[in-house]
Structure 1
Amino acid sequence: MLTTGTTILSAVKSAVDPTTQVVYVENPTPDFIKSNNFSYAIVVTGEYPYSESSGDNQNLTIPEPGPTTIMNVCESVKCVVVLMSGRPVVIEPYVSSMDALVAAWLPGSEGQGVTDVLFGDYGFTGKLAHTWFKTVDQLPMNVGDPHYDPLYPFGYGLTTEPTKGF
């Protein structure tokens, strides 16, 4: 049986007021972002889909155009980055340009679950069950290591109440 789900884009379009214009561009340039009067941006990026070892990326980075899109968009407009990955990946070079970061992990087939928290229908919940490194040179990294200096420490995260609004 095939499961039919929703993409994050279709979920965003369903979640916003019908008068809200949603613009989707796969690889927006800085000029495109600056030439429009965007109020907010949602950048969805992450690892390519993989199933255990055969598609695994050994360098733990977000493939292009993800990093370029984050920089192009988030340096020009208030943005939230939704990161879809199965594990921590290198994000430290981009964090300072983001207004918010959502580690959506691998949300399955329902983009609506992501927009439910982005738009305040449900509060964010979650704490990291592992340390999020700054660079892969720090790996392995564990709480208590002499040089423990993570981007986000073990247990980092938040719990919020629903707000009904972006």
Structure 2
Amino acid sequence: MYAVKTIDQEHKVLATGSEPELHRLVLSKYRRGQLPFPVVIEPIQAQSWDDKAYLASMRPDPETEEREQIKEIRRAHRAGKHTIRALTDETGYFTQRVSYLVHKYSMPLRNEYWRAEKYDNPNEVITGQTVELLGDKLGAPSQSIRQASYSNGIVCGYYISRVPKV
């Protein structure tokens, strides 16, 4: 493969193709006065390999990955899986990831669970099926979590709430 390039500082590529085809093209354009600069026909050099750019192009887009995950979770939800544990078993994602996506996209669940939302960051949500499980995740006693849920209080920087059955 060859390229017709200008001989100025920019070295712009005007056309690419086989050598005989480019000779005919250059001669016809030269006779008609369409070539602004003297030109040269050169073989096209192979591009140097850039590992960083190649690996960056292979990295998955987080938004696309999240959309695919929520599609699978919704598909499982329509199939009759209405608890976080059942959705986790059906989709194969981690419980924390399923819980995060279920709360982010406000999917209705049919079980009662405890929810802790970060005071500074409402996107950071921790859930648990029982008060004890939520207490273990937060590192707080279950009694203080239960008291905070009645008074809309804060425990360890999280708002505590109990989500009833749908």
User: Given the two structures, how large is their TM-score scaled by the length of structure 2?
Assistant: 0.22
Larger Rg: 1 or 2? 2
**Which one has the bigger helix percentage?**
2
User: Given the two structures, how large is their TM-score scaled by the length of structure 1?
Assistant: 0.22
**Which one has the bigger strand percentage?**
2
